Amino acid sequence: MKTMQSLRNCSNDTVSLDLTIPPPQPPVSSSSSTSLSFDEEETSESKIGRLISEHPVIIFTRSSSCCMCHVMKKLLSTVGVHPTVIEIDDEEIACLAVEAAPALFIGGSCVGGFESLVALHLSGHLVPRLVEVGALWA
């Protein structure tokens, strides 16, 4: 689909349209702007620790198709937060010091899994905590 780049007036009351396709723009990320690149020599522990410290709200999961991860993202999005979601393998999950994935971290602290997130939300402590870590504006 062509888009209108410019419109300019010419003599004799005519208008010239320049209908060229603009060059592609890099995609705009809706989540954190921090790079998700990894140093190949970085250990799993340091990589996970770095990601937790760089992202105010992050979910680690075995698969992006995980239904609990999807529900966690939906619950967070209803309050206006879009977490960073990272797929990790079993070795990396062992570095999380949690029993299972998906695992949610807010402000560098482990919240836990889906049930812990729901409990935090129902207790009324989720939104204040998200505001406290800068993931949500008051």
* Residues forming beta bridges with residue 104, ordered by sequence position: 59, 112
Q: Which among 107, 84, 109 has a CA at the least distance from the CA of 98?
A: 109
CA distances from 87 to 18, 90, 97, 137 (A): 45, 10, 16, 27
In one-letter notation, the amino acid at residue 27 is P
pLDDT tens, 33-72? 444 555 677 888 888 999 999 999 999 998 767 889 999 9
- pLDDT exceeds 80 at position 6: no
> What three-state secondary structure class fits 51?
helix
Average pLDDT of the residues in 11-17: 50
High-pLDDT (> 70) share of the chain, %: 70
Average pLDDT of the residues in 24-28: 54
Q: How much is the pTM?
A: 0.70
Which domains are delineated in the chain? 44-132 (3.40.30.10)
pLDDT given for residue 99 in this prediction: 74
In one-letter notation, the amino acid at residue 7 is L
Which residues fall within 8 angstroms of residue 99, CB to CB, at 6 or more apart?
113
Task: For residue 102, say if its preceding peptide bond is cis, omega within 30 degrees of 0.
Answer: yes
- pLDDT exceeds 80 at position 77: yes
pLDDT given for residue 8 in this prediction: 46
Residue 76: how many CB atoms within 10 A of its CB?
22
Residue 106's φ and ψ, nearest 5 degrees, are -125, 120
pLDDT tens, 80-103? 999 999 998 888 888 877 777 899
Q: What is the DSSP string of 100-113?
A: SSSEEEETTEEEES
pLDDT given for residue 19 in this prediction: 55
